[in-house]
Amino acid sequence: MIHLQNITKVYRTKTIETTALNNIDLDVPKGQFLSIMGPSGCGKSTLLNIIGLLDEPSNGMIKVDGKQITNYTSRATAKFRNEKLGFIFQSFHLIPDLNVIDNVELPLLYRSISSKKRKQMAAEALESVGLANRKHHFPSQLSGGQKQRVAIARAIVGKPEIILADEPTGNLDSVMGDEVMEILNKLNKDFGTTIIMVTHDERMAKKTDRLVRLYDGTQVA
Ligand SMILES: Nc1ncnc2c1ncn2[C@@H]1O[C@H](COP(=O)(O)OP(=O)(O)O)[C@@H](O)[C@H]1O
Ligand SMILES: [Mg+2]
């Protein structure tokens, strides 16, 4: 479903050139839960951001469902990102001034869905992460694990086929981390959502279908 061919990313500043990714070839079948591991700075986030069209490769091609997405216009990119992808980050990225349900509803504002329907979909997403009773709390009133569950609800509210998660358990203790992993695993099993997760934690990686290791921008396993 996701096909990466010869993906290379070089960052250039005035003084230094960094090859963040070096000729990555990767195929991720539909419904796979893939984890990516490797030392800090090896290119994990760069790879995830390129798959999620948050960053452009210097070279190479990505196809999703047979369509080449690396040559999309910015409008097509935004639409693809909004409809197909859900993102989860290590530091949650919730909006502090919005309550829980309004945070979860955000991705739906870019689609033509009535306000009533949006609220209903957000409530369902919150229910599926076990936070139906926290709708009107603000992020500052939640634990780290709860914040990450809100972020997951926001990622899945639009029913994306692909979830990209960059160290989703990195800021959580092991109990909360396990809760988040259980939710991701359930999404993967129940809805066949394809998940690509960057992690530092071998224990979390073991709970996924497949592990890819990066070292200095190169795939080593
Ligand atoms: N915007 C950027 N400009 C310049 N260099 C960058 C940028 N983003 C990442 N890098 C460099 O690319 C390499 C890979 O970074 P990253 O993908 O964030 O690694 P990881 O997520 O594995 O820790 C690092 O050497 C980093 O310093
Ligand atoms: Mg990173």
* Residue 52 to residue 77: CA distance in whole angstroms: 9
Q: Please report the atom of ligand 1 found closest to the CA of residue 43.
A: 17
- How do residues 129-176 score in pLDDT, each as one tens digit? 999 999 999 999 999 999 999 999 999 999 999 999 999 999 999 999
Q: Which ligand is nearest to the CA of 166?
A: 2
First to last CA, the chain: 20
Count the domains in the chain: 1
Q: What is the mean pLDDT of residues 187-201?
A: 96
Q: What is the mean pLDDT of residues 48-59?
A: 95
Q: Please report the atom of ligand 1 found closest to the CA of residue 21.
A: 14
* Res. 197: pLDDT tops 90: yes
- Domain of residue 21: give its range: 2-219
* Res. 210: pLDDT tops 90: yes
CATH number, domain at 69? 3.40.50.300
The pTM of this model reads 0.95
Q: Which residue puts its alpha carbon closest to atom 16 of ligand 1?
A: 43
The pLDDT assigned to 221 comes to 83
Query: What's the sign of the alpha-carbon dihedral 137, 143, 149, 152?
Result: positive
Single-letter code of the amino acid located at 100: V
